[in-house]
Amino acid sequence: MAARLVAESPDGDISTRAVCEAAQVGAPALYRHFGDKEGLLSAVVDHGFDAYLATKRDRGDTTDPVEDLRNGWDSHVEFALRNPNLYRLMNSPAMRTPPASAAESHRILTRDLERAAEQGRLRIAPGLAAQMIMSATTGVALMLVSRPGTFSDAGTSTRVRDAVHAAVFTPDVRVATPADTDVPSTAARLSALLRRSQGSGLSTAESALMTEWLDRVSNSAHEHG
């Protein structure tokens, strides 16, 4: 019900009074269940975004994590275009606590990037790559839904996606020669494998230190590039 009110609202905002009237409940009952208006809006976002996340949860991993990530970018932007008010609400500064759905989306993205790193296909550490991709995807999607007159080129999202991915991923390792291998991407791969490994021979402290060093090496090319 609240999700429908958000979708139908001219500016994407709703009042607790409107929700109470639609649900035929008093304000005390609403606040008792959600705490405050922000809690209500977080629940609306999580409910609306859950259907999108379900497709990611149920999706089987392919052998090509980079292709999965390309498709993930496209589906993210498509969701924003289909649900502009909900998407703006999800990324509003007024939401002081990020909705649970946003955190889950970031975890799924990071998992796919770790798979890419294990194949030697990342130039940088998965954590930094996730920040770059998520901020770029969100920025593009917000501009498309908030400023459609200015950002009217249908190819904008694809071009930004390809530019960001070129900065994050190595050339296709299936056709790469040994000369194409560089230290940062190798460090990113070793770091990802070390995180997954259960028998590295290192103590917990040593493993954490080694991972920190490898991530620093993998990110060095981006910092100095």
Written as six digits, the tokens of 203 are 């103590």
**φ, ψ of residue 122 in degrees (nearest 5):** -105, 140
Percent of all residues in the chain with a pLDDT value above 70, rounded to a whole number: 74
CA–CA separation, 217 and 32 (whole Å): 50
22-47 residue pLDDT tens: 445 556 666 666 666 667 777 777 77
Written as six digits, the tokens of 46 are 């999580």
Q: What is the pLDDT of residue 32?
A: 66
CA–CA separation, 191 and 218 (whole Å): 9
CA–CA separation, 35 and 28 (whole Å): 10
153-178 residue pLDDT tens: 889 999 999 999 999 998 864 434 44
Over residues 196-225, the mean pLDDT reads 76
Q: Which of 35-49, 58-72, 82-96 has the highest mean pLDDT?
A: 58-72
Q: What is the pLDDT of residue 34?
A: 62
Q: Fill in the amino acid letter for 54.
A: A
Which H or E run includes 17?
helix 16-23
Written as six digits, the tokens of 132 are 């770059």
- Between the alpha carbon of residue 208 and those of residues 113, 195, 205, 222, the distances in Å are 19, 9, 5, 22
Q: What is the pLDDT of residue 208?
A: 85
Per-residue pLDDT band at 109 (split at 50, 70, 90): very high
Upper half-sphere CA count for residue 167 (Cβ side, 13 Å): 18
Q: Taking the model in full, what pTM does it have?
A: 0.69
